[in-house]
Amino acid sequence: MTKKRTECDPGPCGNPGICSTLSPAFPCLMSLIIFLILFVLFPCPLAGEENEETRCIEILSTPSNENLFEKVQACERLAILGTDRCVPILSSYLSDPYLSCYSRSCLEGIPGPAAAAALRRAMNELEGELLLGVIHSVGVRQDAQAVDALSLLLSHEDLKIAAVAASALARIATPKVARCLMDAFASASPEVLLHLADAILTCAARIEPREAIVLYDALCQAELPAHLKAAAARGAVLSRGKEGIELFLEFLLHDEPQFQNMALGLARTWGGEEITQALIHAMDKLSLRDQVLMIDVFLDRRDALSRDALLQTLASQQPRLRVAALRGLGILGDDSCVQTLMDHLAAPILPEERDAAASSLSKINAPIDDTICLALPHAKPEVKIQLMRILTQRRSLESVPFLMDQAREPWVEVSLAAFTSLAALAPHETLPKILSLLLSCPPEAMDTATEILATVASRNPDAASRAAPIVVFLQEELPVRLRSGLLKSLGRIGNQQAYDTLREALEHEEKDVQDSALRALLSWHDTTPTDLLLDVAGQTKDPVKRTLALRGASRMIDMPLSKCSSPSPQLLSWLRRMREQVQSPEEVKLLLSRLASTCHPDALDMAASLLDMPEARQEACLAVVQIAGLLTSMGPSEGVRSALHLVSNKAPGTPVGIQAEELLARLNAPMDYLLAWQVNGPYMQEGVMCEDLYPMAFGPEQGQEPEKWQWLIRSPTEEGPGRINLLQIMDGPHRVAYARTWLISPEEQPARLGFGFDDGGKAWLNGQVVCEANTSGAWTKDQHIVDVTLRKGENLLFLKLTQHSGPWEFSVRVFGLEDKPLNGLQIAIMEPVQDLP
Amino acid sequence: MVWITTEDVLDAKERLSMAKSKKWTRRGFLKGAGLAGVSLSMPAFIPSACQGKDSRVAPSERIVLGAIGVGGRGYYDLTAILQEKDVQVVAVCDVRKSMRERAKSTVDAHYGNQDCVEHADFRDLLDREDIEGIITAPGDRWHTPISVMAMRAGKDVYSEKPSTLTIAQGRILSDVARDHARIFQTGTQRRSEALFVLADELARLGRLGEVHTVYAHTLPFAMHRHWLPEAPLPAKEDLDWEMWLGPAPWRPYHPDYLNGCGAWLDFFDFGTGVAGWCSHTICQCQGVLGYDLDSGTEYHYPGNSNADSFRVSYAHGADLVLSVGSSKWKGSCGVRYEGTEGWVSMADGYHSPEVSSPSLLSDRRRLVQEYMERTRRPMNHLRDFLDCMRSRRQATTHAEVAHRSMTTCHAINISMLLQRDLTWDSSKEEFVHDEEANRMRSRAMREPWHM
Taking only the tens place, the pLDDT of each residue in A433-487 is: 999 998 888 888 888 888 899 999 999 999 999 999 999 999 999 988 899 999 9
CA distance B101 to chain A (A): 31
Whether residue A682 is preceded by a cis peptide bond, meaning omega within 30 degrees of 0, is yes
Taking only the tens place, the pLDDT of each residue in A55-104 is: 999 999 988 667 899 999 999 999 999 999 999 999 999 999 999 999 99
B109-132 average pLDDT score: 95
Q: Which of B392, B398, B416 to mutate to test the interface with A (most CBs of A within 10 A)?
A: B392
B44 contacts on A by Cβ (under 8 Å): 289-290, 292-293
Q: Is the confidence at residue A646, as pLDDT, over 70?
A: yes
Q: Is the confidence at residue B18, as pLDDT, over 80?
A: no
Cα(A284)–Cα(A316) distance, integer angstroms:
10
Count of CA atoms in the C-beta half-sphere (13 A) of B332: 8
Nearest to B24 among A225, A262, A689 (CB): A225
Taking only the tens place, the pLDDT of each residue in A110-124 is: 999 999 999 999 999
What pLDDT, on a 0 to 100 scale, did the predictor assign at position A16?
35
What pLDDT, on a 0 to 100 scale, did the predictor assign at position A788?
95
B32 contacts on A by Cβ (under 8 Å): 250, 253-255
A195 touches chain B (CB under 8 A): no
- φ, ψ at A105 (rounded to 5°): -55, -40
Nearest chain A residue (CA) to B16: A257
A10: which residues sit within 8 A by CB, 6+ positions away? A16, A44, A46
Output DSSP code: residue A303: S
- φ, ψ at A677 (rounded to 5°): -140, 150
Q: Do B446 and A266 touch (CB under 8 A)?
A: no
B163-178 average pLDDT score: 97
What pLDDT, on a 0 to 100 scale, did the predictor assign at position A288?
87
Q: Which of A689-703, B39-53, B200-214 has the lowest mean pLDDT?
A: B39-53
Show which of residues 772-811 on chain A sit within 8 Å of chain B, judged by CB atoms: 776, 804-806
What pLDDT, on a 0 to 100 scale, did the predictor assign at position A119?
97
A562-566 average pLDDT score: 53
Show which of residues 198-227 on chain A sit within 8 Å of chain B, judged by CB atoms: 198, 201-202, 205, 220-227
A556-562 average pLDDT score: 73
Whether residue A759 is preceded by a cis peptide bond, meaning omega within 30 degrees of 0, is yes
What pLDDT, on a 0 to 100 scale, did the predictor assign at position A425?
96
What pLDDT, on a 0 to 100 scale, did the predictor assign at position A830?
54
A155-161 average pLDDT score: 92
| Buried/exposed code over A429-458 (b: 16+ C-beta within 10 A; e: otherwise) | ebbeebbebbeebbeebbebbbbbbbbbbe
A833 touches chain B (CB under 8 A): no
Taking only the tens place, the pLDDT of each residue in A720-732 is: 678 898 988 887 7
C-alpha distance across the termini of chain A, in Å: 58
A6 touches chain B (CB under 8 A): yes
Cα(A698)–Cα(A800) distance, integer angstroms:
10
A133: which residues sit within 8 A by CB, 6+ positions away? A94, A100, A101, A104, B444, B445, B446, B447, B448, B450
Nearest chain A residue (CA) to B177: A231
Count of CA atoms in the C-beta half-sphere (13 A) of A291: 26
Taking only the tens place, the pLDDT of each residue in B312-326 is: 999 998 999 999 976
Nearest chain B residue (CA) to A268: B393
Nearest to A296 among B2, B15, B25 (CB): B2
Closest C-alpha among B315, B273, B259 to residue B406: B273
Nearest to B181 among A224, A265, A324 (CB): A265
Q: Do B445 and A133 touch (CB under 8 A)?
A: yes
A551 touches chain B (CB under 8 A): no
A200-209 average pLDDT score: 95
Q: What is the mean pLDDT of chain B?
A: 86
Q: Is the confidence at residue A3, as pLDDT, over 50?
A: no
B180 contacts on A by Cβ (under 8 Å): 201, 227, 231
A253 contacts on B by Cβ (under 8 Å): 32-33, 35, 38
Q: Is the confidence at residue A45, as pLDDT, over 60?
A: no
Q: Which amino acid is at A125?
A: E
Cβ–Cβ contacts within 10 Å for residue A585, how many? 13
Q: Is the confidence at residue B28, as pLDDT, over 50?
A: no
Q: Do A101 and B16 touch (CB under 8 A)?
A: no
| Cα A28–Cα A30–Cα A32 angle in degrees, nearest 5 | 70
Q: Is the confidence at residue A396, as pLDDT, over 70?
A: yes
B140-161 average pLDDT score: 96
Q: Do A109 and B439 touch (CB under 8 A)?
A: yes
Q: Do B450 and A201 touch (CB under 8 A)?
A: no
Q: What is the mean pLDDT of chain A?
A: 88
Nearest chain A residue (CA) to B172: A202
Q: A27 pLDDT band (50/70/90 cuts)?
A: low
Q: Is the confidence at residue A426, as pLDDT, over 50?
A: yes
A52 contacts on B by Cβ (under 8 Å): none
Q: Which amino acid is at B448?
A: P
A586-598 average pLDDT score: 91
Taking only the tens place, the pLDDT of each residue in A211-238 is: 999 999 999 999 999 999 999 999 999 9
CA distance B161 to chain A (A): 24
| Cα A286–Cα A290–Cα A294 angle in degrees, nearest 5 | 100
* Alpha-carbon dihedral sign for residues A105, A108, A113, A118: positive
Q: Is the confidence at residue A637, as pLDDT, over 80?
A: no
Q: B24 pLDDT band (50/70/90 cuts)?
A: very low
- What ipTM was reported for this prediction? 0.85
Q: Do B420 and A136 touch (CB under 8 A)?
A: no
Nearest chain B residue (CA) to A7: B433
B392 contacts on A by Cβ (under 8 Å): 261-262, 264-265, 268
Q: Is the confidence at residue A823, as pLDDT, over 80?
A: no
A266 contacts on B by Cβ (under 8 Å): 181
Cα(B172)–Cα(B296) distance, integer angstroms:
20
As beta bridge partners, residue A673 has A813
Cα(B116)–Cα(B125) distance, integer angstroms:
12
Output DSSP code: residue A254: -
Taking only the tens place, the pLDDT of each residue in B229-239 is: 999 999 988 88
Pairing of strands A784-790, A676-683: unpaired
Residue with the larger pLDDT of the pair A9 and A519: A519
CA distance B35 to chain A (A): 7
What pLDDT, on a 0 to 100 scale, did the predictor assign at position A824?
75
> Residue A669: left if φ>0, alpha if ψ -120 to 50, beta else—which one?
beta
Show which of residues 83-112 on chain A sit within 8 Å of chain B, judged by CB atoms: 97-98, 100-102, 104-105, 108-109, 111
Output DSSP code: residue A757: E
A76 contacts on B by Cβ (under 8 Å): 225
As beta bridge partners, residue B430 has B425
Q: Do A299 and B179 touch (CB under 8 A)?
A: no
What pLDDT, on a 0 to 100 scale, did the predictor assign at position A36?
62
Q: Do B250 and A97 touch (CB under 8 A)?
A: yes
What pLDDT, on a 0 to 100 scale, did the predictor assign at position A710?
84
B250-271 average pLDDT score: 87
What pLDDT, on a 0 to 100 scale, did the predictor assign at position A629?
85
Pairing of strands B319-323, B133-136: unpaired
Closest C-alpha among A589, A585, A583 to residue A607: A589
Q: Do B42 and A164 touch (CB under 8 A)?
A: no
Show which of residues 703-762 on chain A sit within 8 Å of chain B, judged by CB atoms: 733
Nearest to A160 among B38, B326, B448 (CB): B448
Q: A354 pLDDT band (50/70/90 cuts)?
A: very high
A731 contacts on B by Cβ (under 8 Å): none
